Amino acid sequence: MRVYNFSAGPAMLPLQALERAQAELTDWQGSGMSVVEVSHRGKAFVKCAAHAEQTLRELLAVPDDYRVLFLQGGATAQFDAVPLNLTRPGQSAAYIKTGAWSGKAIAAARAQGLEVAVIADQADGKYTTVPAADSLTTPDDAAYLHYTPNETIGGVEFGYIPASAGVPLVADMSSTILSRPLDVARYGVIYAGAQKNMGPAGLTVVLVRDDLLGQARPGTPSVLDYAAMAASDSMLNTPPTFAIYLLGLILDWIGQAGGLAAMGARNQAKAAALYGAIDGSDFYANPVAPDARSWMNVPFTLRDPALDGDFLAQAEANGLTNLKGHRSVGGMRASIYNAMPMEGVAALIDFMADFERRHG
């Protein structure tokens, strides 16, 4: 009896992948061992990790001059790893601030001794907007330009890739990677925690262009040193084997579902249906500018916040879980990542209409 789980992350995963993992959890590939019990350096697991990497490369059409790294510590570790790998203290880097997660990335860069040039800060719009593409200017002396293509908490997403004037573009794609086709070649570094569209928590995927390797500061912890991890095929230390295995199963599912073009069409349709229901009602509201609305995270409020508790309890009773908004935003948030089917969004829309009829 599965529910429609709207959690922002860790999040709903494709049942096909979970059922496969379940079936073989005590006996993987007829080995008499679980996938969590085998050596990461054994043939079977090396092949499993290579399959995950190769499938990711195919789905994202990753150019040959990019390395795919499987790291640990989430996007939070990357907030430090990006400055540690790409800069020296006292250098400058450019950041775009569109909400909570880009704000954390900026704070970490400053703590690493960088001069941070915030070339756009959407505070005026209460972080419900993205800057106009033509308003952005990256300083020549910036080591890189960092932005957050999708803000998980605010539900704010860029509809374009910022121009970075020849400076490497760095993106925290935790909550948007694999949601649609992506032009990897536009980026210097892409990083993403797995626990939204890719798998369980505890795995971080990093794509880094070859020419950016080998510049890490002395003292960079080896597990966060891109060049050291690239040189060891991400096995400098024991990798999170279960998470990499499950990533591979989930990537297989994406491929079978038609790849990222199909995923993008489906995600766009899901988001359009949900925003349409919100906009078509005076009972519900979404605060985000239309050109900045996320396909992945849809925050919305009820006209009367006193009804929030009833809404959440009744939704849960109807098999629609984890709709409570982030504590900093309030209201509701429906995260509708790849694994959420259109049927789940439709069930939510039906419930919202029914709730409005009864309480509107």
Q: Out of 172, 270, 295, 324, pick the active-site residue.
A: 172
Smaller CB separation from a second copy, 37 or 304: 37
Is residue 108 a contact residue for a second copy (CB under 8 A)? yes
Is residue 249 a contact residue for a second copy (CB under 8 A)? no
Q: Does 139 sit behind a cis peptide bond, omega within 30 degrees of 0 on the bond before it? A: no
Pick the binder of a second copy from 177, 178, 182, 246 (CB under 8 A). 246
Rounded Cα–Cα distance for residues 336 and 294 (Å): 10
Q: How far apart are CB 355 and a second copy at their closest, in Å?
A: 20
Q: Out of 28, 80, 97, 196, pick the active-site residue.
A: 196
DSSP classification of residue 168 = P
Rounded Cα–Cα distance for residues 114 and 92 (Å): 5
Find out whether 212 and 165 touch, Cβ atoms under 8 Å. Answer: no
Find out whether 152 and 296 touch, Cβ atoms under 8 Å. Answer: yes
101 is catalytic: yes
Q: Name every residue whose Cβ is closer than 8 Å to that of residue 205 and which is 6 or more positions away in sequence.
A: 56, 68, 69, 70, 71, 177, 191, 192, 194, 198, 247
Is residue 25 a contact residue for a second copy (CB under 8 A)? yes
Closest CA to 334 of 307, 294, 304, 306: 294
Q: What does the per-residue mask of binding to a second copy show for 67-96, with x meaning CB under 8 A?
A: -----xxxxxx-xxx--x------------
Is residue 18 a contact residue for a second copy (CB under 8 A)? yes
Is residue 53 a contact residue for a second copy (CB under 8 A)? no
In angstroms, what CA-CA distances link 357 with 45, 137, 150? 54, 48, 33
Q: How far apart are CB 186 and a second copy at their closest, in Å?
A: 27
Is residue 42 a contact residue for a second copy (CB under 8 A)? yes
Is residue 255 a contact residue for a second copy (CB under 8 A)? no
Is residue 48 a contact residue for a second copy (CB under 8 A)? no
H-run or E-run covering 255? helix 241-256
Find out whether 155 and 275 touch, Cβ atoms under 8 Å. Answer: no
The pairing of strands 297-302 and 320-321 is unpaired
Q: How far apart are CB 214 and a second copy at their closest, in Å?
A: 16
Is residue 33 a contact residue for a second copy (CB under 8 A)? yes
Is residue 22 a contact residue for a second copy (CB under 8 A)? yes
User: How many residues lie near a second copy (CB under 8 A)?
Assistant: 69
The pairing of strands 189-193 and 204-209 is antiparallel
Burial zone of 307 (CB within 10 Å; 0-12 exposed, 13-18 middle, 19+ buried):
middle
Pick the binder of a second copy from 29, 237, 256, 268 (CB under 8 A). 237
Burial zone of 240 (CB within 10 Å; 0-12 exposed, 13-18 middle, 19+ buried):
buried
Choices 91-99, 159-167, 214-222, 258-266; region in contact with a second copy by CB under 8 A? 214-222
Q: How far apart are CB 217 and a second copy at their closest, in Å?
A: 9
DSSP classification of residue 293 = B
Q: What does the per-residue mask of binding to a second copy show for 308-347, with x meaning CB under 8 A?
A: -----------x-xx-------------------------
* Residues contributing to the site for a second copy (CB under 8 A): 1-3, 5, 7-13, 15, 18-19, 21-22, 25-27, 30-34, 36-40, 42, 72-77, 79-81, 84, 108, 111-113, 193, 195, 199-203, 218-219, 221-224, 236-243, 246, 319, 321-322
Question: Which residues are marked as active site?
Answer: 101, 172, 196
